Amino acid sequence: MKKIIVATSNPHKVEEFRRLLKDYRIITLKDIGFNETIVEDGLTFQDNAIIKAQAVYEWVKTHTNLNLAILADDSGLCVKAINYEPGIMSSRYSGLGDEGNRRKLLDQLITIQDRTAYFQCFCALIMPDGNMVVEEGKVYGLITKSKIGDDSFGYDCIFWSNALKKTFGQATPEEKDKVSHRAQAVGKIREYLDSVGYGKDQFEDEE
């Protein structure tokens, strides 16, 4: 099976990548023994996706004999009325995890009527030869006034998707994968991989 290394330690993202890249065997950072701290000090989602991909690419080249593509993403929620916060700070917005992040955002919006928001994702792919491809995805919606649906992943339960007419917290994984920001960006990455024939030299019985 074709293989790709995903530069994330987030189990929710790993599962999402596995759904979105069903034709690939997803290799995690844990699988390759990567436990370095990556400083995401970029100013944009695109910057941070590239920083993560490059850090893992350089480590793989130095510490392993693997000759695989590296895929990293950076994504977050942008709310128009509060200057597009939390933005690149989405996962660290409150410093108190997902529940704290949601609470801080809802508190910020208590008196605000315009709750327009979007999720944005940038995916950075580095091929074994060092060539890089970057793709973007974006999905629009509104911030609800309280949690609706599964609250186990980020801001999903307070993001009402215009496309689905429900929160991401209410959506099934299959429904979310049809419209999400990450699905859009990964879809473009998959098209690129297919166009260059990536994986054709990887043996089906390889472990």
What's the N-to-C CA distance of the chain in angstroms? 9
Whole-angstrom distance, CA of residue 90 vs CA of residue 122: 14
Whole-angstrom distance, CA of residue 26 vs CA of residue 21: 8
**Tokens in use for 13?**
């993202």
Catalytic residues: 74
E strands of the chain, at which residues? Answer: 2-6, 24-27, 69-79, 85-86, 116-126, 132-143, 159-161, 166-167
